[in-house]
Every structure is written in C-alpha cells, then in structure tokens.
A = this chain, B = another copy of it.
Amino acid sequence: MSELQVDAESAFLETVLYSSRAMRRLEPEPVPEALLLKLIDAANQAPSGSNAQQTRWIVVRDPGQKQKLADLNRLHGAPYIQPEVDQPRDAKHKRLVDAVVWQMDHMHEAPALIVACYDYDEPVSGGDIYRKAGSVWPGIQNLLLMARSLGLGAAPTTLALRDQAMVRAALDLPETFAALCMIPVGYPSGRFGPVTRKPVSTIMRFDRWSQ
C-alpha cells in the first residue's frame, strides 16, 4: 500500500469506527436479503481461536420466530431494566433507558434479529458458554461496522439469551451451540454519531499497569 492509500483507508475506517453507536430505534421497513448476507459475510472474515471458524449465525426474519425472541428479551429484560426505569440516574441515562424500553416494545418488529452462536462440538452449559466468546465477538464487531457503513442500524444485546435452553428451543439449536449475542438490524430512526468514551489516559498504560 502507498502512503496515500493508507491515509485514505484509515480516514474512511475512522469515519465508520467513530460513528458506530448502538442504534436501538429501527424502522420496520425490510432490509434487502443481499445486505443481510453482506453483514454475515463481513462477520465471517473475522479471526477465531486456532482459526476454528465455529461461529454460526441465525438471521431471523419470520414473524413467529421474531416474536419468540422478543418474548425472551422481555422475560429476562424487563426485570433487569425496571429499576432503571423507576430511578434513572440522570437525563442522559434516562434517554438510554427509554431507548432500551422502546427496543423491548418493538423487538418483534425489527426487520431482522441476528443471533451469533459458537458451536462447541460438544454439549455446553453454564459459564462454559463464554469460553470461546473471543472467537465470536470479533465477527459481531465486523457485522456492526459493516451495518454502519451500509447505513443500517444495529446494537448488540444479550438479555434474550440468558436461558440457553429457551433460546435453543426457539431457534432449533443443537445443545453444542452457545447463543452469545442477538443483534436487531434495520434502517435507523435516528442518526449515527460519536460515542462517549473514557479518555485513553484512563484505560491504558505503557509496560505495566501500576507505575
């Protein structure tokens, strides 16, 4: 790559990386299948431990299937979010909670609910489902970035997946699958924009943590 290409590519990548915030409010308008396949193909490029490529993706568009996942999300999500609905910490937190509640109420209307799984090739349960999480989440991040670059809204969620037996029953997953993330995808109602993050000086050190 020439210097010029490096500069151009990193500038475009930065545009995507720095404006990929969680988009929870989605329009019900369908997303073309070709774009959904682009998301999965992008996810599929990500690295995995020992290059095992055991991540599996279920793209749920069927209304009955989406309703099952929306019900699971409410079952586990409502008790989790209710205390924050009752007592938001501040105005910014209230906006976040409002968006999470909106998402819960409209989950079944999202054009696609994409579920990311790892196939352990043997039955898996409890805390062991996270053992290969590092082989799944790089693909999820690829998917989120590709969605952003295509003008699609998305946000990684996990509440619907708290009971693996229920998710497996809903999606006909073998018991060797761990479902680790659910990503509602659609055209966003809001606009992409920067995220608020702790300063780098807080989250990194050179050479050792304690200095």
Contacts and interface: CB of A to CB of B under 8 A. Distances in A.
B158 A208 contact: no
Interface string A116-138: 01000000000110110110111
Contacts of A174: 209-210
Contacts of A173: 209
**Binding site of A, secondary structure by majority: helix, strand, loop or mixed?**
mixed
A26 interface: no
Interface string A1-30: 100001011101111111010100000000
Nearest to A147: B10
Contact of A58 (B96, B146, B197, B204): B204
A85 interface: no
A86 interface: no
Contact of A156 (B47, B59, B205): B47
B208 A40 contact: no
Interface stretch (A60-68, A71-79, A103-111): A60-68
A17 B133 CA distance: 20
Contacts of A208: 58, 60, 65, 171-172
A20 B9 CA distance: 13
The quantity of this chain's copies bound in the complex is 2
Interface residues of A, number: 78
B171 A209 contact: yes
Given A1-B151, A47-B22, A174-B209, A37 B200 contact: yes
* Most B-side CB within 10 Å, residue of A60, A61, A151, A155: A151
Interface of A: 1, 6, 8-10, 12-18, 20, 22, 37, 40-42, 44-47, 49, 51, 53, 55-62, 65, 96, 117, 127-128, 130-131, 133-134, 136-138, 140-142, 144-146, 149-151, 155-156, 158, 171-174, 177, 180-181, 192, 195, 197-198, 200, 203-211
Given A127-B130, A172-B209, 7 more contacts: A9-B12, A13-B146, A44-B197, A46-B141, A47-B156, A130-B133, A138-B140
